[in-house]
Structure 1
C-alpha cells in the first residue's frame, strides 16, 4: 500500500472516531512517527502533506532533520537524555517526554541561550508499567509547580503511552486517566495558564485515544509504514 492510501485510510478512521465521540476533526493533530523509516520515506511523508514529524532519538533523527529541516514541524517523542538536549532545542518545536527536573533545567538553559521558549508535554506513566518512563500520576501536581521556576518552558499538555494491548479497547482507562489529570491540573491553576493538549494514542490504539480526548496522536507504522 502506498503512503497516500495509508494517509487516506487513517484520515477516515480519525474522522469516524471524532464522529463517534462528538469531536471536531480539526481538534486532532497527527504526528507522523518516522523513527523506523528512511530519510527518503520521511521526506515523502512531508511531501504527502504530513507536516508534523516525530522522532525519538537524536542519533536517528539528525540525518532526517538535516534533509527536511523547516519543511516540517519536529516533535521529540522519546526519552530525552540531558546530554542530547543541546541538539534538540531549537530544532524540535515540541518535546513530548518531560519527566524529571534535571531535564527541565537543561531544556530551560539551552532555550535561554537561544532566546526561545520550548513547548513541552509532561510524560505521565498512567498505566504504572515499570518499563515505561514518566511521572507517577500522584507526582504531577508537585512537578508542575516546580516547572514554574523555568520561564523558557511552556507546558503544552500531558503525554502518556498505553500498554500494547491486543484489544485497543483495553487502553481506554489509561487515556481517560490522562485527560482527568489534565483537567485536575487546570482546575488547580498551578501553571497560571490552561494546559490544552493530550499526546496519546499510537498506531494500535489511536481511535480509542481520540474518543477519550487526544489532541495529538503519534502514528508510525499505520501511516508511514516500516522498513528494514
Structure 2
C-alpha cells in the first residue's frame, strides 16, 4: 500500500532542499510502483538484479532505475542496457566489468563509489585510499561516469555516531571534488540516508536519499 500523503510531503521537502528522492521499491509489486509513478515519482531503487529486470520490462520506460544493492560482477550485464545509476560500486573489479558491459551496449553508465563509513562488517564499501586509487585511473574507464559517493551508516540508535559517519562521507566527497573533479559537473551526488536517518543525512550534506518503508510500508519477503 503506497502512502501518497507521505510521498507528497517528502517530495515537497526534498525539492525545496534540492534532494533527489529515490523510492526504494524492492519486494514491492509493479502495481505499487505504477501508483507512485502516476503521482509523479520517477526515481526508483532496487536491490536485486532479477527483480529489477522484471520490473523494467513491465513498467514505463521513462523511469530512472537506480541499482542500490550489492552488485555481483557476473550480473552487471543484465542491467547494463538500461540502468540509470548504480549506487554501490564497492571494488575496482566491478567498475571494470560495468565499463565493459556499458561499451557492449554503446552506453556511458553513471555510478557512485561506495565509501565504507559504518562500523559494521556486514556493510560493503571501499576505503578512502581505495576510492582515491580508482579515481586517479578514471580515464581508463571511458564508459563509466563517476557521479559521486554513496554510503550507509551503522545500524544503531546512536544518532551522534550516524551523524559523524555521514559527516565523514560529505567531507570526503568535497575533498574528491576539489582534487579530482573540479572541472566535472557530473560529480555532484552525495547519496546517503534512508527512512530512519534521512533528516540527519540531509543535514550533513546528502542530496540523494533512499526511502522505502515510509512510502511502501514494511518489506514482504518470500518464505
Same fold (TM > 0.5): yes
**Cα separation, partners in 2 of 1:2 and 1:131, compared to 1, 3 Å:** closer
In angstroms, what is the RMSD of aligned CA positions? 2.0
Q: TM-score, normalised by structure 1?
A: 0.88
State the partner residue of 1:186.
Answer: 177
Q: TM-score, normalised by structure 2?
A: 0.90
**Cα separation, partners in 2 of 1:8 and 1:110, compared to 1, 3 Å:** same
Asked if structure 2 preserves the Cα contact closer than 8 Å seen for 1:32 and 1:223, the reply is yes
Q: Note if 1:82 corresponds to 2:73.
A: yes
Asked if structure 2 preserves the Cα contact closer than 8 Å seen for 1:128 and 1:136, the reply is no
Asked if structure 1 preserves the Cα contact closer than 8 Å seen for 2:30 and 2:58, the reply is yes
Q: Note if 1:144 corresponds to 2:128.
A: no
Runs of 4+ deviating beyond 6 Å: none
How far apart in 2 are the matches of 1:4 and 1:154? 33
Q: Which runs of 5+ in 2 are unaligned?
A: none
Q: Which runs of 5+ in 1 are unaligned?
A: 16-23
Asked if structure 2 preserves the Cα contact closer than 8 Å seen for 1:168 and 1:204, the reply is no
Asked if structure 2 preserves the Cα contact closer than 8 Å seen for 1:158 and 1:197, the reply is yes
Asked if structure 2 preserves the Cα contact closer than 8 Å seen for 1:97 and 1:134, the reply is yes
Aligned length: 219
Aligned partner (choices 127, 130, 141) of residue 121 of structure 2: 130
**Cα shift at 1:160:** 0.2
Q: Note if 1:215 corresponds to 2:207.
A: yes
**Cα shift at 1:152:** 0.6
Correspondence list, 1:1-228, <5 A? 3-11=3-11, 14=13, 25=16, 27-189=18-180, 193-194=184-185, 195-228=187-220
Asked if structure 2 preserves the Cα contact closer than 8 Å seen for 1:30 and 1:219, the reply is yes
